[in-house]
Amino acid sequence: MPSLQIRTLPPDLYHALESEAHKHKRSLAQQATCLLYRGIDKAETPKLRRAAVLERIRGRKRKLDSNTLPDPVGLIREDRER
């Protein structure tokens, strides 16, 4: 299996990688490999990536239906009566 060695890694980047690895219970090498895979998967152009993000945002807006949201007047009254 090929290997990769990175020299002169900035300390803040190293500590961030170390923190993420600890959070996910991985070694530094495993965490770096996961991040590289994620980065390669996002090899699309910035324009396509931006379009995908905007589409996700539009999708979230559609999910907000005014019939399912609580009445703000009722929420304010409830808060004032506490």
Would you kindly state where each structural domain of the chain is located, as residue ranges? Answer: 11-80
What are phi and psi for residue 3, nearest 5 degrees? -130, 165
| pLDDT tens per residue across span 46-61 | 788 788 888 888 877 6
C-alpha distance from residue 77 to each of 20, 69, 70 (Å)? 44, 16, 12
Q: What is the number of alpha carbons within 13 Å of residue 57 lying toward its C-beta?
A: 6
pLDDT for 43 equals 60
pLDDT for 59 equals 79
> pTM of the full predicted structure?
0.49
| pLDDT tens per residue across span 22-49 | 999 999 999 999 898 888 766 667 788 7
Q: Please enumerate in sequence order all residues whose Cβ is within 8 A of that of 21, keeping only pairs 6 or more positions apart, or say none.
A: 27, 28, 30, 31
